[in-house]
Chain A
Amino acid sequence: MKPSVTPGVRLGQVSFVWRPWIVSVSLLLAAATFLVFCLSIGVGDFPIGLPQVIATIVGRGEQVDEFVIMDLRMPRALAGVVVGIALGVSGALTQSIARNPLASPDVLGITNGAGAVAVFLVTVSGGTSAAIVDSVGLSAAALMGGLGTGLLVYFLAWRRGIDGLRLILIGISVSAVMEALTTWLLVTADIRDVAQAQAWLVGSLDDRSWDEVQVAVWGALVLLVVVTTAAFQFKPMHLGDDVAAGLGVRHSAVRAVLLLCAVLLAGVAVSAAGPVPFVALVAPQVAMRLARCPTPPLVASALVGALLLTGSDLVARTALPVSLPVGVVTAAIGGPFLVYLLVRANRR
């Protein structure tokens, strides 16, 4: 019976399960993401070849390339990777917590909540909203809107613990209200404000500055450290609350921490790129199938998210006749995939 039980690896005090397939898939995904990241940096009015891009990133490039790459293009490319990772992990966490593949930050109201706040601030002119935008910026205000909505959904869904289906139903309801609010604001607003609001609503990586990207990178890093720490305690929770409790897991505390991390990661993504749709929903599902895991794998989900977002951004800027915001392309890839998932579930 030796081969059936997964072998372990021991390195001093550290030991872990050795799953060569997942490790290889993750390494391939990381390599592919790095390649797309470099290609994406090379593309533009001043094209730079792949070797020069890589040379510049490792610090051995020419000065001209260095300025274009590090100062102009790096923030956008890095934002793509960070937003993709944040959305992938956020989606993997929400889907695991709800034990339902349809749970994602989109469904839980975070995206629509952020959108409603942003549109409100753009379209409703007046002292207060102008003051808010001036003092904290549109992205930060939208981030607060997303977090507020996410927490509202969490507390409304709380009833002696969190039930996945209840969380999703309340998330969908609150999302719908936020979406209705957004539509109402757009219909009644001045046509010039509508254009600005619409541009924000699709999600885009255009014109990222180092300052904006740095906030996202540090925020995501801190949250990923928390998630990695808590992930070990989360493993038995895929078997249900009672089994997890029987195995010595304080499931309510672990879930509250991880769901908060998921909401915050989605918030980081929204503040850096606007509400990019479908990445959080699709990335964990693709990662599960690639890594052949029964539950969304965190590392692979993060990498699929990064690859999908940087890849979509590259496609949006190069393959199409007009330059589109990245959100349009992720929706175009994510939408059909969601349909595919649902059709597959129907046939079971």
Chain B
Amino acid sequence: MVTQSVTGVESESDHASRLAARGVTVGYGARTVIDDLDVAIPPGVITTIIGPNGCGKSTLLRTLSRLLKPSKGTVVLDGDDIARLRTRDVARKLGLLPQAPVAPEGLTVADLVARGRHPHQSWLRQWSSDDADVVERALAMTGVSDLADRPVDALSGGQRQRVWISMTLAQGTDLLLLDEPTTYLDLAHAMDVLDLVDDLHESGCTVVMVLHDLNLAARYSDNLIVMREGSILAQGHPRDVLTAELLQEAFGLNAKVIDDPVGDRPLIVPIGRTHVQLD
């Protein structure tokens, strides 16, 4: 459906990882959440960070996106220490959608998506025809062009999330970090948003996201990062990573991993206390 990224710029380096954390320690105040962690994000694929509540997956994503400053170690973006880059230059390379963002009441979809152009503007050059073109393409790509004049707060949860992703796209980066893009969405809308994320990946974007739903993570990502208590337990393709043992170790979850009847990925079937017949 989508054949090129919003700006039409192809990823420059397809071999090395574009984003990596090297020995990062991150915490809030005295509490350390992540201790001496190394991770590299492979280019051109969808990477999903999973793990139990409070394991530090959002903290890792926020660190990779320079929202949190590590007390030790560095985050490297295209070979440069992200802390030494101007935040505006980072914003031209890396798009970020935080968890559950809120738009001011009455702000229209077109105006919200237009804010995504901010890193490319200056005090004198606040709006150009390039900006208008990119915003129109971002609206079209996320299927929200028809909603352009509607206030964001009047939309449904699924539409709203599409609009926010559209704003991130208008930023014109081919590296997207999404923090729980399916929060508060029902399953159908969650699938809809993840199909959109997959479209972006097809168009050449590198995507890193945090997801809660393990089966959706397995279905939509090519690379899983499994975390527990601030460190990485496993990383790799869902088929290689997701096993009953790992789920027990990471989540304390008793589950069976079977072949997905409609896909080529593993399917996790949790085993609870009741209504279960094990052979």
Of B96, B107, B127, the residue contacting A15 (CB under 8 A) is: B127
Q: Please name the residue on chain A nearest to B152 by beta carbon.
A: A294
User: In the complex the two chains form, is A248's CB within 8 Å of B110's CB?
Assistant: no
User: In the complex the two chains form, is A1's CB within 8 Å of B104's CB?
Assistant: no
How far, in Å, is B200 (CB) from chain A's closest CB? Answer: 16
**Is A6 among interface residues, defined by CB-CB distance under 8 A?**
yes
User: In the complex the two chains form, is A248's CB within 8 Å of B67's CB?
Assistant: no
Q: Please name the residue on chain A nearest to B62 by beta carbon.
A: A242
Binds A, one of B33-41, B112-120, B259-267: B112-120
How far, in Å, is B65 (CB) from chain A's closest CB? Answer: 7
Which has the most chain B C-beta neighbours within 10 Å: A239, A246, A248, A294? A246
**Is B97 among interface residues, defined by CB-CB distance under 8 A?**
yes
Given the contacts A4-B149, A13-B124, A245 and B67 also touching, CB distance less than 8 Å:
yes
How far, in Å, is A163 (CB) from chain B's closest CB? Answer: 14
**Is A8 among interface residues, defined by CB-CB distance under 8 A?**
yes
How far, in Å, is B216 (CB) from chain A's closest CB? Answer: 23
Of A14, A160, A248, the residue contacting B125 (CB under 8 A) is: A14
C-beta contact mask, A225-261 vs B, less than 8 Å → 1, else 0?
A: 0000100100110111011011111100000000000
**Is A127 among interface residues, defined by CB-CB distance under 8 A?**
no
User: In the complex the two chains form, is A242's CB within 8 Å of B98's CB?
Assistant: yes
Interface residues on B, range: 35 or more
Q: Please name the residue on chain A nearest to B118 by beta carbon.
A: A247
User: In the complex the two chains form, is B98's CB within 8 Å of A243's CB?
Assistant: yes
How far, in Å, is B209 (CB) from chain A's closest CB? Answer: 14
**Is A10 among interface residues, defined by CB-CB distance under 8 A?**
yes
Residues of A within 8 A of B140 (CB): 1
How far, in Å, is B119 (CB) from chain A's closest CB? Answer: 4
**Is A320 among interface residues, defined by CB-CB distance under 8 A?**
no
CA gap between A160 and B30 in the complex, in Å: 13
**Is A58 among interface residues, defined by CB-CB distance under 8 A?**
no
CA gap between A6 and B115 in the complex, in Å: 12
CA gap between A7 and B133 in the complex, in Å: 11
Of B90, B96, B124, B125, the residue contacting A242 (CB under 8 A) is: B96
User: In the complex the two chains form, is B95's CB within 8 Å of A246's CB?
Assistant: yes
Residues of A within 8 A of B174 (CB): none
**Is B187 among interface residues, defined by CB-CB distance under 8 A?**
no
**Is B171 among interface residues, defined by CB-CB distance under 8 A?**
yes
User: In the complex the two chains form, is A250's CB within 8 Å of B123's CB?
Assistant: no
Given the contacts A15-B127, A245-B87, A240 and B96 also touching, CB distance less than 8 Å:
no
Q: Please name the residue on chain B nearest to A247 by beta carbon.
A: B118
**Is B102 among interface residues, defined by CB-CB distance under 8 A?**
yes
**Is A187 among interface residues, defined by CB-CB distance under 8 A?**
no
User: In the complex the two chains form, is A229's CB within 8 Å of B123's CB?
Assistant: yes
**Is A295 among interface residues, defined by CB-CB distance under 8 A?**
yes
User: In the complex the two chains form, is A236's CB within 8 Å of B127's CB?
Assistant: no
User: In the complex the two chains form, is B98's CB within 8 Å of A6's CB?
Assistant: no
Q: Please name the residue on chain B nearest to A240 by beta carbon.
A: B101
**Is B256 among interface residues, defined by CB-CB distance under 8 A?**
no
Q: Please name the residue on chain A nearest to B122 by beta carbon.
A: A232
Of B101, B105, B110, B168, the residue contacting A6 (CB under 8 A) is: B110
Given the contacts A242-B98, A243-B101, A246-B96, A10 and B128 also touching, CB distance less than 8 Å:
yes
CA gap between A236 and B115 in the complex, in Å: 6
User: In the complex the two chains form, is A5's CB within 8 Å of B135's CB?
Assistant: yes
Of B88, B114, B135, the residue contacting A248 (CB under 8 A) is: B88
User: In the complex the two chains form, is A1's CB within 8 Å of B139's CB?
Assistant: yes
How far, in Å, is B214 (CB) from chain A's closest CB? Answer: 25
Residues of A within 8 A of B112 (CB): 239
User: In the complex the two chains form, is A15's CB within 8 Å of B128's CB?
Assistant: yes
CA gap between A242 and B101 in the complex, in Å: 8
C-beta contact mask, B134-162 vs A, less than 8 Å → 1, else 0?
A: 01100110000100110100000000000
**Is A16 among interface residues, defined by CB-CB distance under 8 A?**
yes
**Is B129 among interface residues, defined by CB-CB distance under 8 A?**
yes
**Is B269 among interface residues, defined by CB-CB distance under 8 A?**
no
Known: A13-B124, A240-B101, A248-B92. 19 other contacts (CB 8 A): A1-B145, A4-B136, A4-B148, A4-B149, A6-B127, A10-B128, A14-B125, A17-B114, A236-B118, A238-B107, A239-B101, A239-B102, A242-B96, A245-B66, A245-B96, A246-B96, A247-B115, A247-B119, A293-B106
Spell out B's residues near A (CB within 8 Å). 28-29, 65-67, 86-92, 95-99, 101-107, 110-112, 114-116, 118-119, 121-129, 131-132, 135-136, 139-140, 145, 148-149, 151, 168, 171
- What are the 7 tightest A-B residue pairs by CB atom distance, in nearest-first order? A248-B91, A4-B148, A246-B96, A242-B98, A294-B106, A248-B88, A8-B127
